[in-house]
Structure 1
């Protein structure tokens, strides 16, 4: 049996995969948690609901991301000295690599927006312990310059301190991404 640990409003995002009615639930809507619990009865997934400050910060960040917030607005979720790292082919994929600080992270989001169109983002597991949140999932993005679709499972290791993200390490199929980024 698969176990998903959900906290706060991230439950709303995952619920959509299990229950059509959950799509309209807000992150603070307690009915969403009930809907998720009801939805799991037919899916074989067990759910543990927890709450944490780190998860609230991560949830707020992904809410901004999902709503199309500007790169600068997204970067405000990060500490001034935060580290973002997405390993891979930095010659062909300009938005990946290591970035330190809010200005560099803003640049990441600008490059991401200029180069890809997100098409699918699914969280399959969300784990939280103390100030760390780990998200496992699947994504599909379309390269704007060549219309190729990148598909990859991913994991994101996020650390939150003093209400801001200080570490954001995303692992994805970098071979797939690099191959699709080439013309």
Structure 2
């Protein structure tokens, strides 16, 4: 039973990463459950978040699509790369480790940020999306 769960989890994660690479927010969002636990490791009391509106908690499939649209709108097209170093799967849970390389559209500053993405899959859909990233690096890239 666990092997089947892990196979499904790995397949959904692989498809998620493929769709993120293609850049279609609506197709990416199709992989999320209608309601999902979406959290980002970002200080709740942090000021100046107008420059990084995609960095916030989410709760729905529509929110997931909005996240990927906002992320694309605030970065320079063609100057992005994500390096996946490892995907760890344990039953319905997976952790993706890697590094994001982007260029902030507002400032033109490139940045590299390490991340860990904790995902949980239920019935073939993503129900948990928790991101832990180097938020200081991201904030500095967008600071005036």
TM-score normalised by structure 2 residue count: 0.85
Residue 105 (structure 2) aligns with: 144
* Distance verdict in 2 for CA 1:82–1:100, change over 3 Å: same
1:75 aligns with 2:29: yes
Deviations 1:81-110 (A, max 9, x none): 012222325343110110001111111111
Which secondary structure state, in structure 1, belongs to the residue aligned with residue 72 of structure 2?
A: helix
* Larger RCO (CA under 8 A, 6+ residues apart): 2
Residue 70 (structure 2) aligns with: 111
TM-score normalised by structure 1 residue count: 0.68
Gaps of 5+ in 2: 1-5
Larger Cα-atom Rg: 1
1:156 to 117, 127, 137: 117
Which secondary structure state, in structure 1, belongs to the residue aligned with residue 108 of structure 2?
A: coil
1:123 aligns with 2:77: no
1:93 aligns with 2:65: no
- Alpha-carbon distance between aligned partners in 2 of 1:82 and 1:93, rounded to the nearest angstrom: 21
My pick for the range that moved more, 78-87 or 154-163, is 78-87
Gaps of 5+ in 1: 1-50
RMSD (CA atoms): 1.5
What does 1:18-97 align with in structure 2 at a 5 Å threshold? 52-69=7-24, 71-88=25-42, 89=46, 90-97=49-56
- Residues paired across the two proteins, number: 132
Which secondary structure state, in structure 1, belongs to the residue aligned with residue 116 of structure 2?
A: strand
1:173 to 122, 134, 138: 134
